[in-house]
Amino acid sequence: MSTEPMPATPAAGPPGAAGAPPPHDHGGPAAATVLVGALLVLVGIAWLLDASGVRVPWRAVLPAALIAVGLATAAGAFRGRQHGLMVVGIVLVVVLSVAVATDWELDVPLGGGVGDRSEQPSTPADLAEYRLGVGGFHLDLRQLQVPAGTTTVEARVGVGELVVEIPDNVSVEVDARSGLGNVRVFGQEESGPGSRVRRSSRDGGSGDRRLVLDLRVGIGQVEVDR
């Protein structure tokens, strides 16, 4: 009785030695995560400085972040596709384009607190530089004793609503702006990106007492009325 030789079984080798080549790690998601984390740390530090009273050039922050993403994407292109970095870059481009198109000066406060706030100054000594990060700010100037000459009031809200009520028998000049939102001053209204209304009103007031309002909201609404 003859027997035929059994076919040889190939020896097992180390994984990846035969068959499909080992997967190539492009490093896209990991690189994107590291970069986004670094950008968040940078923005957080800038936000902390702003809240501490240090003036931060926010207009330069977005372009700097976009340059960093662009350099990282270009460097990563030599190793493989980096979808994560591209998404971050596209988001920054959109945000920067909106800021430029709306002429948003980005000097509205990121600090200044969160929530609803109301102020009712009665004398010039009670006036301050009003700042609110996020929320609704109501500034009631109807009881303000406006002295002879020019009295300037500035108010800034990052995201939210700014409502200002002014006194009678006073000459008023208003420059109200919203980077993205709505502005209404004495019934005149503008909506959309870069909304701005400039109005002057005497309403029986004499020219020797003049109230100048400089009002800005980054995203949201500004309203001025008597």
What are the tens digits of pLDDT across the range 37-50? Answer: 676 677 677 666 66
Domain boundary among the residues 69, 101, 133 is at: 101
Shared domain check, 164 and 70: no
pLDDT at 16: 47
Say if residue 89 is in the same domain as residue 181.
no
Look at residue 218 in the predicted model and tell me its pLDDT.
82
Q: Is the pTM of this model over 0.75?
A: no
Residues 140-150 pLDDT 10s: 999 999 998 99
pLDDT digits (tens, 9 = 90+) for 57-79: 666 666 676 677 666 666 665 55
Residues 149 and 214 in one domain: yes
> Do 50 and 145 share a domain, yes or no?
no
Q: Count of domains in the chain?
A: 2
164 and 216: one domain? yes
Q: What angle do CA 151, 164, 216 make, to 5 degrees?
A: 80
DSSP letters, 67-84, are HHHHHHHHHHTTT---HH
Query: What domain range is 78 assigned to?
Result: 28-101
Indicate whether 131 and 187 sit together in one domain. yes
